[in-house]
Structure 1
């Protein structure tokens, strides 16, 4: 390949990336108008871009717009964005917010995790009994069962944080408990995801490669953590914050891509680096992590487009609407009722418990990351990924409307309590008694008395 061909290919890929980012901006605008989190618009537009081009112009047009080499570069851009974004996500999982009471958090986290895991087992059983080989795939049964259970149990910390901020619920009891529980759930989810991918290797050599990659990632994360805690690193971060962000992002990319080359998903490498970044008050790395995460978020829509082209375009032809409906129903039931039950067992009132159930039902981006990992590892099939993607979008999009319903219900109850206590409707002027009328001023010929 000569230099001219390389420049043309890079220019084509950069142009495609610019179009992707414009589509993401349009998705964010539409989401704001629909009073949904902006990330919902990005995810939806990104996932539907590829199938929309095929539906309107055919597969040949898509191949012309995104030939193989250009598509590979766009995929690399998306993967880079995903890795950088995950550094911030994993860092947030580790540091978390101010913690509510541990006992209550434990109950809420257990309720938001265990029932969804059980619904994952139910979905797996439904697939094994009714679906064909195209949905089941060829992964080992233990890996398949565990991966589906993990996919059903995820709660998206970044999307949940944005919903809480948009609604002013960050300091509320329901908001703090839901976020703390989501952090704990996703930490467990990453561990189970690692186990599922290792089981999906199918033979001892694959498991050994996964273990070697995991060990490599852990050693690198520990080395990064030790280096960032030194006095020289802290001074470097304070004096040159942008350079520190570049160094942190390059380290995350190096570890993630190396782990992917060794047989483990790059997602786990990015998460390990994010977990390794110090989060105590003396560590000035919060700004660098935020810069890295924002940079990744700017490129993340490319990841969604690649996911849409590689997953949805092939899965729509084999889509099973009963499978999608079952996935959505089980996904909602596990989180809504599980979160409610856990909150009630933790001693919370019903209104707060229902809000927690609605909040932990948010899956969003984290769910898509897990699904992409399962698809890349060959554990999940495209039709099943499609059903779970729809489940993730539906459960995330319904969080805001569910909270609105709960707010209106609480408002009606408050008005009824006011009526019972005062004997009148809110806004109604109280009736004047005779004694009150006697005290009113009276107009006479000589004036007011």
Structure 2
């Protein structure tokens, strides 16, 4: 009987995964028609699928389609997908793109981190001032404030990289500076996220347990790094790269599970492994890491659906319009103004600075990963997550149209020297990149 139950549940989960992947395909297609990054369509449709199904079917039929045991299995799948995807992202965060001006990148990173952190403090202050208990929750104040601040400072490196590639800006000065600064900001943001989760324990024992979990996860990650640097590992990778990639993926999931059992989110464990994978010229691990990340990315739509079901189903009626509007406005103001000021101080012309500011305002999938970590740790409530999700979708969706508006405006700008406009060198680089 147990075997039959296992087979039935497995078939149920596979059927739901097929539906989820079909929804992801539809979301990507819709995003392409709207000239938006494909991930916007995946996220939006995935997050809304659960609440929409509950509204149309009613609680009884919804529970029959998605019973608790099946939902628990989907949660495991989504966690595994996130962990595998995050390995690739963390590995990329080790170093930024080459040849970008370091001084400018440092100033843009500072401008894209500090003002958004301040805007996050203002948002947390608004929640406290309005006594919004649904958004506040009962997490320790320091953890709550820091997690909101971190959530407002994130820039989505994968989505930005995709936008730069699609628009032929990967080799432009603005694109290189923005991507390098985003990598720096997200690396710092993950460290602050870990600190917020540790503070969320609310006691010395909890903090020490989080520190112990980080130490164990770090030790495991360093052990993996050491193993990958050995000659036998390099020879095995040269002979059977796929087998080594599978073993590396299994090791990542093992570290993530161990850290979760010790009280730290599994996402942090995966990030530690990604940071630890060496960039070894004698055995370039990037293809294996990319394969692991692609496998995770394929199943990440399950994470969007699970988030919509578990976090957002009861949040639409509890989140106030004031909270959502303030979140979007403060996020745009902090990131855009800070990045623009950083680019100008770093020596970039106004045209470049405006593009950098728009690019740095991109959130996307990375934001959702941070929010999931904060929600899983009990720091962020459903209504607060909903407001931040709307902010992430809005800021990412604005990136393409705003870049197009800047291009149109600068092409039409008068130029006494008879050039194509103040952005002519930048546009030439963009067009050159788009033909490669």
Structures share a fold, TM > 0.5? yes
Work out whether 1:35 is the aligned partner of 2:35.
Answer: yes
Partner Cα separation in structure 2 for residue 105 and residue 2 of structure 1: 58
8 Å Cα contact 2:175-2:356 kept in structure 1: yes
CA apart distance, 1:414: 5.2
8 Å Cα contact 1:156-1:366 kept in structure 2: yes
Question: Using a 3 Å threshold, how does the CA distance of structure 1 residues 169 and 133 change in structure 2: closer, same or farther?
Answer: same
Q: Secondary structure at the match of 2:100?
A: coil
CA apart distance, 1:278: 1.0
TM-score (norm 1): 0.92
Structure 1 vs Structure 2 CA RMSD: 1.4
Question: Using a 3 Å threshold, how does the CA distance of structure 1 residues 416 and 47 change in structure 2: closer, same or farther?
Answer: farther
Partner residue in 2 for 1:253: 253
Partner Cα separation in structure 2 for residue 361 and residue 420 of structure 1: 27
CA apart distance, 1:419: 9.1
Partner Cα separation in structure 1 for residue 416 and residue 402 of structure 2: 21
CA apart distance, 1:280: 3.6
CA apart distance, 1:356: 0.2
Query: Any residues of structure 2 matched to 1:204-223 within 5 Å, and which?
Result: 204-223=204-223
Q: Secondary structure at the match of 1:82?
A: helix
Partner Cα separation in structure 1 for residue 109 and residue 132 of structure 2: 34
8 Å Cα contact 1:134-1:381 kept in structure 2: yes
8 Å Cα contact 1:150-1:193 kept in structure 2: yes
TM-score (norm 2): 0.95
Partner residue in 1 for 2:364: 364
> Structure with the greater relative contact order (CA < 8 A, sep ≥ 6): 1 or 2?
2
8 Å Cα contact 1:85-1:292 kept in structure 2: yes
Partner Cα separation in structure 2 for residue 374 and residue 346 of structure 1: 33
Partner Cα separation in structure 1 for residue 339 and residue 289 of structure 2: 31
Question: Using a 3 Å threshold, how does the CA distance of structure 1 residues 170 and 420 change in structure 2: closer, same or farther?
Answer: closer
Query: Any residues of structure 2 matched to 1:98-247 within 5 Å, and which?
Result: 98-247=98-247
Query: What 5-or-longer segments of structure 1 have no aligned partner?
Result: 422-449
8 Å Cα contact 1:95-1:279 kept in structure 2: no
Query: Any residues of structure 2 matched to 1:312-323 within 5 Å, and which?
Result: 312-323=312-323
Question: Using a 3 Å threshold, how does the CA distance of structure 1 residues 132 and 233 change in structure 2: closer, same or farther?
Answer: same
Work out whether 1:393 is the aligned partner of 2:410.
Answer: no
8 Å Cα contact 2:368-2:389 kept in structure 1: yes
Partner residue in 2 for 1:15: 15
Partner Cα separation in structure 1 for residue 82 and residue 60 of structure 2: 28
What count of residue pairs does the alignment treat as equivalent? 421
CA apart distance, 1:232: 1.2
Residues 364-418 of structure 1: per-residue CA shift (max 9 Å, x gap): 0010001111111111111011000000000001000010010001100156763
Q: Secondary structure at the match of 2:139?
A: coil
CA apart distance, 1:277: 0.8
8 Å Cα contact 2:13-2:70 kept in structure 1: yes
Query: What 5-or-longer segments of structure 2 have no aligned partner?
Result: 422-436
Partner Cα separation in structure 2 for residue 302 and residue 276 of structure 1: 27
Q: Secondary structure at the match of 2:232?
A: helix
Question: Using a 3 Å threshold, how does the CA distance of structure 1 residues 258 and 99 change in structure 2: closer, same or farther?
Answer: farther
